[in-house]
Structure 1
Amino acid sequence: MLSLVADFQQNKTLALNANFVHGLKSILTDASLDKEFIAMAITLPGEGEIMDLMEVADPDAVHSVRKFIRKELASQLKAEFLNTVQANRSSEEYVFNHPNMARRALKNVALGYLASLEDPELTKLVLHEYNTATNMTEQFAALVAIAQSPGKIRDDVLADFYNKWQHDFLVVNKWFALQATSDIPGNVETVRNLAQLEMIVSANGLSENVFEIASKSLAV
């Protein structure tokens, strides 16, 4: 990954190492491995972790390269990620145990990769996962995937999620954080408005009108 960052800094064409892609594919499709291990193994390191390894941190380069790798992996392993999502769906009630936690983790990571392609058909898939989720964990993971791309679907799902979970302060905090850390165009102004809204919520408790306030504020 650091070599790709160096290539980016030198304006070279970025290309993923074929051995890296093959290795990740082998892990993703190995049914003998624990699903939680697979989920962790195919998750890219965070931008902060990458910059910790650099002599001089370059946030823009790291962000661009990480985004490139994520999208390229999603493109080259699209079929495998689709199979992973389909194989790890469940309509059962939420159960807190290792097999189910591992299943959810793996499906959610695969869903995030697919959403990065910003393909309308894959957006429908992610929206389906959001609408059919039987628990907040999987619903929020689908929301995270949808929130990568600006547009009406994103706005509608953010509103729907807030309406469902507005009385759970910890979940609403996750809702705020998701939007605050998004890199969609124009998000700086969105963060400013969300910061004001968070102060309103903190001062007055949860309000059924907070999302309406947000919508009006963001429309200004």
Structure 2
Amino acid sequence: DLMRGELMILPAVTYLAEQLLVADPCAIHAEREGLKAWLATTLQDRLTALHDRASAVPYSRDAEARGARKLKTQALVYLAAGAPQEAAVRAAAQYDGADNMTDRQGALMVLCGLDTAAREEKLADFHQRYDGNALVIDKWFSLQASSLHPQALEHVKALAGHSDFTLHNPNRVRSLYMSFAGNPGAFHAASGEGYRIIADLILALDPINPQTAARFVPPLGRWRRIESGRAELMRGELERIAAAPNLSRDTHEQVTKSLG
């Protein structure tokens, strides 16, 4: 089941984009999600049966149980693409019945991408349940920033103002913004707002933690491999960063290299 769970995962948008000389990440993302939706619609009965069967396997650290947990969440991932209402009900039930973090986080990941009341309910529960556990709260930020929800970009902007977020915590910054930069549908929004968010972050973070700020330059630095409209927007944000006064050496080197 562990192998079956891995085989159910489609190649990532980043990997697919790397196979092309010039890519449109949003188009690749849309095609990938379309394939998931088609598979989910075609195989819905088998996916629900798979989720039922995997959910019946009791928690254990052995390979069979670990595989069941992987399959359980992957079945939900597909159902979310083709049968979102069914997925929302099942993900909420999986969350509520979870006796381990893998199942709970997997269910919350699926709910984060759905437009359902259960999304807000379980996010609030998760935050309350693990408040004070920094690593788990990092995951709470990451799940929302990397989600397939159509409003993910707006969610990231709101999370930046959350009381648990601070630019002085590098792990928290990475959890929110690296997850966002790896979210093709949000980061590569046609408006360019995703690029602007990362550029603004770099400029705000550079005086506080230049090493971490510099690590956020590469997502913008891939502009040469992106279709021309978005590439121009990405390059424009890099030029805006480069023009900022008192830029740290770390960030300046990364930006200069990216523009080179």
Q: TM-score, normalised by structure 1?
A: 0.70
CA separation in 1, counterparts of 2:158 and 2:88?
Answer: 27
**Structure 1 unmatched runs, 5+:** 1-34, 206-220
1:9-42 Cα offsets, whole Å, 9 max, x none, are xxxxxxxxxxxxxxxxxxxxxxxxxx11111111
Note the C-alpha offset of 1:141. Answer: 0.4
Letter in 2 for 1:129: Q
- Which position in structure 2 is the counterpart of 1:60? 26
Q: Percent identity?
A: 28
Partner-residue secondary structure (3-state), 1:123? helix
CA separation in 2, counterparts of 1:90 and 1:166?
Answer: 30
- Which position in structure 1 is the counterpart of 2:253? none
Tell me which of 159, 184, 190 is aligned to 1:194.
Answer: 159
Note the C-alpha offset of 1:128. Answer: 1.1
Partner-residue secondary structure (3-state), 2:23? coil
CA separation in 1, counterparts of 2:168 and 2:137?
Answer: 10
Tell me which of 71, 74, 80 is aligned to 2:46.
Answer: 80
Preserved contact between residue 9 and residue 74 of structure 2 (Cα < 8 Å): yes
Partner-residue secondary structure (3-state), 1:199? coil
Once the two structures are superposed, the pairs formed by residues 47-196 of structure 1 within 5 Å of their partners are: 47-90=13-56, 92=58, 94-196=59-161
CA separation in 2, counterparts of 1:194 and 1:118?
Answer: 28
Letter in 2 for 1:56: V
Preserved contact between residue 88 and residue 116 of structure 2 (Cα < 8 Å): no
Preserved contact between residue 115 and residue 126 of structure 1 (Cα < 8 Å): no
* 1:46 aligns to 2:12 (yes or no): yes
Letter in 2 for 1:163: Q
Note the C-alpha offset of 1:183. Answer: 3.7
Preserved contact between residue 17 and residue 23 of structure 2 (Cα < 8 Å): yes
1:81-101 Cα offsets, whole Å, 9 max, x none, are 111111111474x43222211
1:150-199 Cα offsets, whole Å, 9 max, x none, are 24221111111111122221111111011112242333232123134321
Note the C-alpha offset of 1:118. Answer: 4.5
1:45-72 Cα offsets, whole Å, 9 max, x none, are 1110111111211111111001101111
1:99-130 Cα offsets, whole Å, 9 max, x none, are 21111111111111112235424321221111
Change (3 A) 1:95 1:162: same
Preserved contact between residue 109 and residue 147 of structure 2 (Cα < 8 Å): no
Letter in 2 for 1:199: T
Preserved contact between residue 116 and residue 145 of structure 1 (Cα < 8 Å): no
- Which position in structure 2 is the counterpart of 1:27? none
1:136-156 Cα offsets, whole Å, 9 max, x none, are 110110111111112422111
Give runs of ≥4 in structure 1 deviating > 4 Å: none
Q: TM-score, normalised by structure 2?
A: 0.60
| Larger Cα-atom Rg | 2
Partner-residue secondary structure (3-state), 2:36? helix
Note the C-alpha offset of 1:43. Answer: 0.9
Note the C-alpha offset of 1:200. Answer: 7.4
